[in-house]
Chains A and B, each alone.
Chain A
Amino acid sequence: MTTRGRGRQQQPVGLLLSAPYAVFIVAVFAYPLGLAVWMSFHKYIFTAPGVDVPRPFVGIDNYTAVLGDPAVRRSFLNILVFLVINVPLTVALALLLATALNAAIPFRTFLRVSFYVPYVTASVAVVGVWLFLFSSDGLVNQVLGGVAPDPSWLINEHWAMPSIAFYVTWKQLGVFILLYLAALQNVPKELYESAAVDGASRWRSFRAVTVPGVRTATTLVTLLAIITGANLFTEPYLLTNGGGPSGRSASPVLLMYQRGIEQGHPDIAAAIGVLLVLGVLIIAGGQQLLERRQR
């Protein structure tokens, strides 16, 4: 049986039930996205409500300005560095830890909760803990002694972005572990049993059973990590003093805030935003393509 016939049937109750969410999507996602694209092609300024000012079409002027700005190019490079570290690390650690937490180990519930706590704690509070750990006379440098980087992590132009990537990985790990834990419940126990009967080692059955068994979850985790990572703002704002040192940890969203809200150039900020959306779509598309080829 195909689903074609069923899809064509009118379901008034279904439409009614889905309407609130559809309205939500249109109002909170589709309309702002459309407006951002429109803004990025016009000279747009904020005004008091009810004031009518000309907002002429300027073609790709905003995009030329954005792409010609070394600070913006740097921020896109920064976010790429961030994603290259953050996404693989997130996927690998989340899967490994979820597998461990799925096994019969002592304090399982306690550990599951522990990994989730950073995710639900306010960023500002957790950043405080990381400053305590990673500042120049923080705990980490005291342990490292002579091998501690100089200048210290968060004010080192090479370490600032990786430090943020590690921080975000740690902070968000809980939610990704949760996704993997859910997926692990769907991997049939029989597969592990037959792998064991065939004499597979623990590592071997992890690779041959667990990894393919949670592939859909991996797709989801990767996508979510890319999207949340590309929207990085709080961490460079708080942890590295607004994208420091010298813009080495500035993210595109941080620059959108500076250009759009602080400096009053929403059109420029919109252009950065549209480029960021396109960038994320390209990376996500490439990832999907890779995924399909593997199947």
Chain B
Amino acid sequence: MLFYNKKIFAKAGISSSAPPLATYAEFLATAQKLVSSGAAKYAIFPSPSSQFFQSWFDFYPMFAAESGGQQLVVDQKATFDSDAGKAVAALWQQLYAQNLAGKEAYNGDAFADGTAAMASVGPWAVAEYQDKVDWGVVSLPTQAGSAEDQPTFSDAKNVAVYTACTNRGTAWDFLKFSTSKEQDGKLLEMTGQMPLRQNLAQEYAAYFTANPKYQTFAAKSAHVVEVPNVPASVEVWQAFRDAWTNSVIFGKQDPNQALSEAATKINDLVK
């Protein structure tokens, strides 16, 4: 989901109840207005670092929305060298080229500090920004315009039992217990993290009535895409990230060419 800082939007003269953020054209125009009005230094500021997992916070959620829920790799083939991938890269390249997104390391949380007016976030953000930012929430933009039920990336944390585990039966019982409805409910109550389970809003209706700010995330959890479960996954993401930072962030290469080269490299890694 996309959080935006209502105060900064108001200061820039943009509607803080229904900001124009549905399409890429609207998103870019809003970003330009936020920065040129001096309301915020940057429109959005995901970490520009070359860590392999950083693409999960800028590229991947938008790619999920734009591509209708495609994983990065499907059937041992990279999917992002496509119209959807190129469109996402082109949008971000514009954001960086026009200095609407920060390219440097940042000490702290740019959204909490008001340095950036928007942030792509998960349910953790509700508690994190509670007393810091007066925020509103919308779906991430897509080229044609965002929709309520468009897919997004949830960054799910999954568990597995190794075949080398000596007490597999006990481990299995433990996993069943720790992911039971009751324990999932505790996870939700204690952390605000969405359990991996169908019909969250109905299953834990009392929680979402008491904590309405989490409702958008509960609704979203029915439309999530995860990272592909492939061997060499970290290398795959590093190859993607290197191409992304080199082309989209630092403009050293044409983004389309970088995506195409990264796809070739990744196809090699996962075959």
Contacts and interface: CB of A to CB of B under 8 A. Distances in A.
Contact of A263 (B51, B232, B246, B252): B232
B238 A131 contact: no
A241 B232 CA distance: 23
A244 B244 CA distance: 12
A154 B107 contact: no
A258 interface: yes
A246 B47 contact: no
Contacts of A222: none
Contact of B107 (A132, A244, A264): A132
A72 interface: no
A151 B162 contact: no
Nearest to B246: A246
Contacts of B144: none
B131 interface: no
A262 interface: yes
The A interface is mostly helix, strand or loop, or mixed, namely loop
Contact of A241 (B50, B52, B246, B252): B50
B128 interface: no
B48 interface: yes
A238 B50 CA distance: 11
A27 to B, nearest CB: 27
Size bin of chain B's contact surface: 20 to 34
A154 B105 contact: yes
Interface residues of A, number: 30
B234 A131 contact: no
Q: In this complex, which of A71, A154, A155, A242 has the most chain B Cβ atoms within 10 angstroms of its Cβ? A: A242
A246 B104 contact: no
A245 interface: yes
A151 B246 contact: no
A28 interface: no
Contacts of B104: 131, 135-136, 152, 154-155, 241
A247 B234 CA distance: 17
B245 A263 contact: no
Nearest to A265: B235
A111 B112 CA distance: 38
Interface string B216-258: 0000000000000000101100100010011001101000000
B210 interface: no
A122 interface: no
A243 B249 CA distance: 14
Contacts of B48: 241, 244
Contacts of A137: 41
A132 B107 CA distance: 9
A131 B238 CA distance: 25
A131 B110 CA distance: 14
B49 interface: yes
Nearest to B250: A245
Nearest to B241: A242
A128 B107 contact: yes
A155 B235 CA distance: 24
Contacts of B107: 128, 131-132
B105 A246 contact: no
B235 to A, nearest CB: 5
B86 interface: no
Nearest to B103: A155
A2 interface: no
Contacts of B103: 151, 155, 245
Interface in A125-141: 128, 131-132, 135-137
A239 B235 CA distance: 23
Contacts of A245: 103, 245, 249-250, 252
A27 B218 CA distance: 52
B258 to A, nearest CB: 11
Contacts of B190: none
A225 B216 CA distance: 54
Contacts of B105: 131, 135, 154, 238-241
Interface in B35-67: 41, 47-52
B49 A246 contact: no
A262 B238 CA distance: 10
24 contacts: A47-B164, A48-B162, A48-B164, A48-B165, A71-B242, A131-B105, A131-B107, A154-B104, A155-B250, A157-B250, A240-B105, A241-B50, A242-B50, A244-B245, A244-B250, A245-B103, A245-B249, A245-B252, A246-B242, A246-B250, A258-B238, A262-B238, A263-B232, A264-B234
Query: Which 9 residue pairs across A and B have the least CB separation, nearest first?
Result: A241-B49, A242-B50, A246-B246, A245-B250, A263-B234, A51-B164, A128-B107, A263-B235, A48-B164
Interface of A: 47-48, 50-51, 71, 128, 131-132, 135-137, 151-152, 154-155, 157, 238-247, 258, 262-264
Given A241-B105, A246-B245, 12 more contacts: A151-B103, A154-B104, A155-B104, A241-B49, A241-B50, A243-B50, A244-B250, A245-B252, A247-B50, A258-B52, A262-B52, A263-B235
